[in-house]
Structure 1
Amino acid sequence: MKRVLAVLVLLGALVPSVASAAPRDVCGPAAPGFARCYAKVDSRSALRATGYSPADLRSAYRLPDTGGAAETIAIVDAGDAPTAEADLAVYRQTYGLPPCTTANGCFRKVNQNGDATPLPPRQGDWPVETALDLDMASAACSQCKILLVEGDDASFEALGASVDTAVKLGATIVSNSYGAPESHWSAEFAAHYQHPGVAIVASSGDGGFDAPSAPAVYASVIAVGGTSLSKADNERGWTESVWTGASSGCSAWVAKPSWQKDPNCPGRTVADVAAVADPATGPAVYETTVLSGWRVVGGTSASAPFIAGVIALAGHHDRYPDASRLYSGQLNDVVSGNNVGFEDCGGDYLCTGVPGYDGPTGNGTPDGLAAF
């Protein structure tokens, strides 16, 4: 018995764990003017299964193993993640991805002013969000450079300044896995997320059908929804449905862009595109400041940096002044499931996976790079 227990402990140390039945929000509710991260952590025993690897995700979305070497993905988060680089090294080494370090010039961490020091104080459990973002960007684009910009705190003022800094430092794609329900103040920060020539990506949120989240709701941003992803015995080898937590909504504050044609929302509709986000079917992530190592971490915090990596792989970051490019092209259409949350939209496309465009998954999920 002792020998069996020893083997089980060893397996638990070596194998990434998957999510539990009740995922935990990494970030709690945010005060007005502040954002919350959208990561969700689960901690089922490692003996049950493993979270998806980069190879799994590349298989699910028909992505090439290489590409994007000329691209820089910026990750914007609140506060310092002190073990970010070391944790990323473990993740990449575990899955056979090339090293991405400060020493080899692939990785860079700065504060919201663009300086290596001083770094801001840690903001609660945000280091988990940072690890998820870094791992998912790496999973999609292992040859991309990564720039981590750490805001002083989770205020929209600090996070917006961090986006501006990322662009000034040469980021070609900026990923933002945080937000707050839109309101009368949202327009005050919209300019931070509008940088022609740079693709700006943001999570749609994890609240189901409700008021859209800023910054995802801004017309200049690629809003990324979420799916549940499972292996299947079909031609693709995978199947997807709407993740019940993926946010969608109809904006009351942002005008409808000319490239959106859905009929039942007079304003900007969220989302535009999607990828795996369900913590129960999510990716393995390695983080040690808050967690004990491997966990499965989901939420649309996973799908946004992954889509940022897909855009980087395709190499057309300069073609995203908005999400219009994703409204024609080859994507996996998600046609089942719903995200009904605080309000019931009666089965409408705004909260239900249907053929063609729908709110929770937008136009669909990556099917190779043709649409990007």
Structure 2
Amino acid sequence: MAAAVAGALVAVVTSVSSATANSADDNGTTAESASAPVSVCGDPEPGHVACLSEMVPGAVPSSNGRAAQTPAGYGPADLQSAYRLTEAVQAGAGKGRTVAIVDAYDAPTAEADLAVYRSTFGLPPCTTDNGCFRKVNQQGDAAPLPKANPSWGVEISLDVDAVSATCPSCNILLVEASSTSIEDLADSVDTAVRLGASVVSNSYGGPESGVSDDTPLPSLALDRQDSYNHPGVPIIVSSGDSGYGLDASYPASLSTVISVGATKLTKSDDPRGWTETAWVTNHRGSAAGAGCSAHVAKPSWQHDKDCPNRMTADISAVGDPVTGLAVYDSIRDPSGPYPPGWLLVGGTSASAPEIAGMYALSGHTDIVRDASGLYSHRDQLHDVVGGSVSVPGSGQECPTSSYLCTAVEGYDGPTGLGTPDGLGVFAP
């Protein structure tokens, strides 16, 4: 598996009667004790990206007969507490702003599934009829939509739920690309901006080597760079789900985007009420993506020493699938390993739309050109320390003391500058 593949979606089938992401059902089954994740999607072909969905088969729904209560996994109140968003959410921040989500293929039940998620967690309806939800193809039209794909359907459910969790008052624009090609997805990003998106979330990616050509100038070798450069509209991209690699993930490696890593979020008794470390699963390299670009020059606002070019990530949020988000998806995949219903989902596919929602919630998207503003507000972040995403046996290992692959004090690859401590990090 390519170490840099991004946007990997990790799904864990869970009991809807569990109170928290780590709680056991009456049979003692937890996501922590379940078997290792298995892949739902395949590796990307050259010029394409993959969702790389994974699930934990051992974390099966409880059959103890109790009525469904709170779904397992973190919900909106948890994320709002962990990142100090509650006051802004209660004040209705984000109203009138649109978070665009770019994914491949159609999720026919996206709006209906979103309604279940939002009603379960007490969020206001977000529908086509009330003007909050809109789904279009990559040309920006309501029809025809691309063919359905169950795996990307889970990705779409994760994305719309994560945005809803961090910005309940935001509008959601879902742009569905015709395929997983960079060409189609880049067209979809341009469409999202043309249709008025305040911020664009992209939970996908692939190794730079898979989307580059033999142009003599490395900076020009990557496909469709201009589509990920829209000053005034933050372009948020997953940093990858395969740990540290020498082949950085694209488009996260572009200096015009905000690259988002992932953490493991745990409730604690400290004043914040939460602790975080870098997300590390240690199964087939499943971990927050970190990489040094071979093509993109070091931007002026990035000052780490051991990567001569653009380094990912810039910022992070919760993405560990074992302590992941509660996500509702009703699409049944006859060949897939997961049933429809409530899933526990993670990966940088979760953290990217979470951050996109926070950008919209802050109200400062129109001044964003790139990630430089984050580096000017380090005091508005939780510094994440602990966890190495170096993948044993990959041939691309790095020392566990290195910031390239380990969450250390200050900047590091897996978690970037850290996680938001309120909305000040997104201020001008």
Report the TM range for the smaller structure's normalisation.
over 0.9
Deviations, residues 126-155 of structure 1 (Å, cap 9, x unaligned): 100000000000000000000000000111
Matched residue SS, 2:305: coil
In 1, Cα distance between equivalents of 2:20 and 2:45: 32
Retained in 1: the 8 A contact 2:85–2:423?
yes
- Whether 1:338 and 2:391 are equivalent positions in the alignment is no
Deviations, residues 154-187 of structure 1 (Å, cap 9, x unaligned): 1101100000000000001000000000123462
Bigger mean CA offset, 356-365 vs 16-25: 16-25
TM-aligned CA distance change 1:230 to 1:14, over 3 Å: closer
Query: Deviation of residue 92 (structure 1)?
Result: 0.3
> Aligned pairs, how many?
362
Q: Where does 1:123-162 land on structure 2 (aligned, <5 Å)? A: 123=149, 125-162=151-188
What is aligned with 1:179? 205
What is aligned with 1:27? 41
For structure 2, list consecutive stretches of 5 or more residues without a partner in the other structure. 1-13, 22-30, 65-70, 214-220, 281-286, 333-338
> Which amino acid is 1:207 matched to?
S
Deviations, residues 321-353 of structure 1 (Å, cap 9, x unaligned): 110111122100001111112321112100001
> Which amino acid is 2:130 matched to?
N
> Which amino acid is 1:345 matched to?
C
In 2, Cα distance between equivalents of 1:246 and 1:299: 7
Structure-2-length-normalised TM-score: 0.81
For structure 1, list consecutive stretches of 5 or more residues without a partner in the other structure. 1-10
- Whether 1:365 and 2:365 are equivalent positions in the alignment is no
Matched residue SS, 1:187: coil
What is aligned with 1:3? none
Aligned partner (choices 89, 103, 112) of residue 77 of structure 1: 103
In 1, Cα distance between equivalents of 2:320 and 2:35: 11
In 1, Cα distance between equivalents of 2:309 and 2:104: 29
Deviations, residues 95-152 of structure 1 (Å, cap 9, x unaligned): 0001000000000000000000000002351100000000000000000000000000
> Which amino acid is 2:257 matched to?
V
In 1, Cα distance between equivalents of 2:192 and 2:412: 31
Query: Deviation of residue 259 (structure 1)?
Result: 0.4
> Which amino acid is 2:190 matched to?
D
In 1, Cα distance between equivalents of 2:312 and 2:76: 27
What is aligned with 2:81? 59
Query: Deviation of residue 15 (structure 1)?
Result: 5.6
Instruction: Report runs of 4+ in structure 1 exceeding 3 Å deviation.
Output: 11-21, 38-43, 45-49
What is aligned with 2:269? 233
What is aligned with 1:284? 326
What is aligned with 1:252? 294
In 2, Cα distance between equivalents of 1:16 and 1:166: 37
Retained in 2: the 8 A contact 1:38–1:300?
no
Retained in 1: the 8 A contact 2:166–2:358?
yes
Aligned partner (choices 195, 214, 217) of residue 250 of structure 2: 214
Query: Deviation of residue 319 (structure 1)?
Result: 2.3
TM-aligned CA distance change 1:237 to 1:79, over 3 Å: same
Identity %: 57
Aligned partner (choices 240, 245, 270) of residue 205 of structure 1: 240
In 1, Cα distance between equivalents of 2:278 and 2:388: 5
Matched residue SS, 2:272: coil
In 1, Cα distance between equivalents of 2:289 and 2:318: 13
Q: Where does 1:290-329 land on structure 2 (aligned, <5 Å)? A: 290=332, 291-329=339-377
Matched residue SS, 2:264: strand
> Which amino acid is 2:341 matched to?
G
> Which amino acid is 1:31 matched to?
E
TM-aligned CA distance change 1:196 to 1:38, over 3 Å: farther
Aligned partner (choices 300, 310, 321) of residue 268 of structure 1: 310
- Whether 1:168 and 2:194 are equivalent positions in the alignment is yes
Q: Where does 1:41-52 land on structure 2 (aligned, <5 Å)? A: 41-42=55-56, 44-47=59-62, 50-52=72-74
Bigger mean CA offset, 58-67 vs 361-370: 58-67
Bigger mean CA offset, 265-274 vs 322-331: 322-331
Retained in 1: the 8 A contact 2:150–2:331?
no
